[in-house]
Structure 1
C-alpha cells in the first residue's frame, strides 16, 4: 500500500508489502513447520501464495509491512488490521530460516511504536495458539498481557485449536 511509511531499525527495513513479494514469502507459506499454528495449512503452490500476498498487499483492510534486511527480499511481514476505533489486531510471520535471530521481535516492536505514536491506536490485540511458544514469548516480551483463553476457537488444518487473546494498551507500552 502506497500510503504506508517505510521504517528502519537497527538491522531491518520495514517497507510496504508488495504483490511481487509473493515468491519470497512462499518460503514461509509453503513451510509445514512455519505454518503449523497459522489459521490455514501450508500452501501447495506459488499461485496460492500470490493470491494471499495480493490480498494482504492491496486490501485497505490490512496495513502490511514486509520485513527485510536492508530493503531486500521479504523475510516475513507485520500487519495491523484496524478494528474498532483506536484498536488494531497485530499479526506477523517470518521465514523459518530466520527464526531465533530477533528479527520478528525487532520488526513487531517497530510497528507497535508506529501504531501508538503515529497510528492513533490506544490498544493492540493478538491471537495465538497456546502451543505456539515462540509467538507467545515474543508477545509477552513486548509487553502484551494475556487477556483470555478461548477453548476450541479455531478449526484449522491441524484440528480444533484453542486460542490465547493478548492485549497491549498504549499507556502500558509508554510505561515500559
Structure 2
C-alpha cells in the first residue's frame, strides 16, 4: 500500500526506498533497538532492503522518518487498518536519534494524519518491558486497554503484549500533545 509524504517541524515522513536501507540497517541490526521487535536484528543490508521496501499486497502503509535538516533516515513508521476506522501503528527509531524527541514528533504527526483521514481509534501493542515505548504512548495520551498473555513468539522468547488505545475525540488537533500538525513535506524544509 502506498504511503503519502507528510512532515512535522523537524522531520519528513515518506515512503521508504532501497536507498534508505544502509542508514536504516544501523537501527535494524542493533540488538538494543530490536530487543522488543517481532523479529530478530537484521544480518545484512539486503535484509533491511527487503524489510523496508513496500511490496504489492502489503496491508501496512510504511514511512521512513527522515531528519529534515540532514536528510538522514533515522527510523520507520507503519500503520495498518485492522477494521474500518481502527488503525494499528508501529515505529522504530535508530539509537543515535533517540532522546531528541523525534519518536514523539513522528508518532504525533502520524496520529494527526490517521485521524484526519477518518480513523476513529488508533492502537499499538508493546512488550510489557518496553519502558521507552510505553512512556511514549502514555505521553501521547494512549490508555492501557489490556494484556494479552503469551501473545508473541519472538527472537527473545514467548512474550506478553500490552494493548494501548487512543480515540479520535481524545486527540483534538489543538491539544498540543506534541503534535505539530500534518503539513506537506515541502513546508518543513
- Partner of 1:127 in structure 2? 125
d(CA) in 2 for partners of 1:12 and 1:26?
A: 19
1:162 corresponds, among 157, 160, 163, to: 160
How many residue pairs match? The answer is: 173
When residues 93 and 59 of structure 1 are mapped into structure 2, their CA distance, relative to the original with a 3 A threshold, is farther
The partner residue of 1:153 within 151, 154, 157 is 151
Higher relative contact order (CA 8 A, sep 6+): 2
TM-score by length of 1: 0.91
CA apart distance, 1:7: 1.9
Q: Is the 8 A contact 2:79 2:88 kept in 1?
A: yes
Measure, in 1, the Cα distance between the counterparts of 2:56 and 2:142.
28
- 2:26 corresponds in structure 1 to 27
Pick the aligned partner of 1:61 from 59, 62, 76: 59
Separation in structure 2 between the aligned mates of residue 38 and residue 6 of structure 1, nearest angstrom: 25
Match of 1:6 in 2: 5
Q: Which runs of 5+ in 1 are unaligned?
A: none
Partner of 2:139: 141
3-state SS, counterpart of residue 65 of structure 1: strand
| Secondary structure in structure 1 of the residue aligned to 2:108 | helix
Pick which of 95-104 and 5-14 moved more.
5-14
| Mean CA deviation greater in 129-138 or 21-30 | 21-30
CA distance in 2, matches of 1:161, 1:105: 25
Distance 2:152 2:129 in 1: 13
Once the two structures are superposed, residues 104-157 of structure 1 have per-residue CA deviations (whole angstroms, 9 ceiling, x without a partner) of 00000001001001x210011101001100000000111111000111111111
Show structure 2 runs of 5+ residues with no match: 176-189
The DSSP-based 3-state class of the residue aligned with 1:67 is strand
| TM-score where L is the length of structure 2 | 0.85
Q: Is the 8 A contact 2:16 2:53 kept in 1?
A: no
Matches within 5 A, 1:11-90: 11-55=10-54, 59-70=57-68, 72-90=71-89
What is the alpha-carbon root mean square deviation over aligned residues?
1.7
